[in-house]
Amino acid sequence: MTLLAAVLNGLMVGGLYGLFGLGLALAFGIMRVVNIAHGEFIVLGAFLGATVLAVTPLPLPVVVLVVAISAFAMGWLMQATMLNRLVGPNPIPAMIATMGLSIIIRNALVAVYGNNIRAIDIGPVQNLGIEVAGVALGVLPLAIFALSVAMFLAVGLLLRHSTTGRAFRAAADDFEILETLGFNRRRVYALAMGLAVTLAAVAGLLLAVRSSFTPFSGIERLLIAFQVVIIGGLGSLRGSFLAGLFLGVVHVVGLSLNPNVGPLFGHLAFILILILRQADLPAILTRRGR
């Protein structure tokens, strides 16, 4: 794989990474909930999609819709039945609860599907390709990237131009203001978590179409989501998208350079960004320039 091909493929993977982080950022930004089960919901979306594809004749776009609806219901139920009782100034109870839920989901996946590596086969469309800038790219990865961009745009429109989005923004600022405006705080929180889990599960399914996965892949996906949130900035749609693109490029380029240690490059890049932010490098360079 040439460097240009690795960069282009990294951008397409990065769109899904951005969705990982966006879901996690929504949950924390609106409700101050650190959802440790976020990675397991990503993997659950992949397994659910694989199961529907295997037992039904539904095409992939319809399966994505089925996964999205199912994931929204799971997120809504988790928030409405469990996390709404724990949301408050102290984030630890919700973290512990979602950590326990992540263990339950992981073990349930192992019990049902086993611990073997799996991949999703959707037929001949996986081998279709076109040439872009002299580089052969798959039609499916391009379509997945376009869907990722569309989901980012849809979330942006929802947050800026809908009553639900205004309720989300009010909840992020102060839940008391939300209730003053006449919204039911618990219902808004359930909707927000439903959306967060939907983004995670759909991104997990689409990434599984391109790569393998196991019931234990959730930890890796959660780590990527945390990195996207920290690099991109909490609550920033553009930041999550750009951070996801950055990490996707670093991961794929790293894998093309050395398949054995490829993912390490992404973690090193993340640590380097943290060091540069802590050191306030632009200010240091400005002082030296004087």
DSSP run (H or E) holding 138? strand 135-138
What DSSP string describes 115-134? SS-B-----GGGG-EEEETT
Bridge partners (DSSP) listed for residue 118: 213
Average of per-residue pLDDT across 14-22: 91
Q: Which long-range contacts (CB under 8 A, 24 or more apart) does 264-268 make?
A: 266/224, 266/227, 267/227
**251/261 Cα distance (integer angstroms):** 10
Task: Return the pLDDT at 262.
Answer: 64
Cα dihedral 25, 30, 36, 38 in deg (nearest 10): -60
Domains of the chain: 3-289 (1.10.3470)
**288 DSSP assignment:** H
**135/126 Cα distance (integer angstroms):** 17
Which pLDDT band, with edges at 50, 70 and 90, does 17 fall under? Answer: very high
**12/81 Cα distance (integer angstroms):** 36
Q: Is the dihedral of CA 213, 218, 219, 224 positive or negative?
A: positive
**109/204 Cα distance (integer angstroms):** 15
Bridge partners (DSSP) listed for residue 132: 135
Q: Provide CB contacts within 8 A for 101, sequence distance 6+.
A: 36, 37, 40, 78, 82
pLDDT at 254 over 90: no
Token duo for residue 29: 């930004």
- For the question of whether the overall pTM of this predicted structure is more than 0.75, the answer is yes
Average of per-residue pLDDT across 157-170: 88
Q: What is the pLDDT of residues 175-218, one digit of tens each?
A: 777 777 778 888 999 999 999 999 999 999 999 988 889 999 99
10 and 251 Cβ atoms separated by less than 8 Å: yes
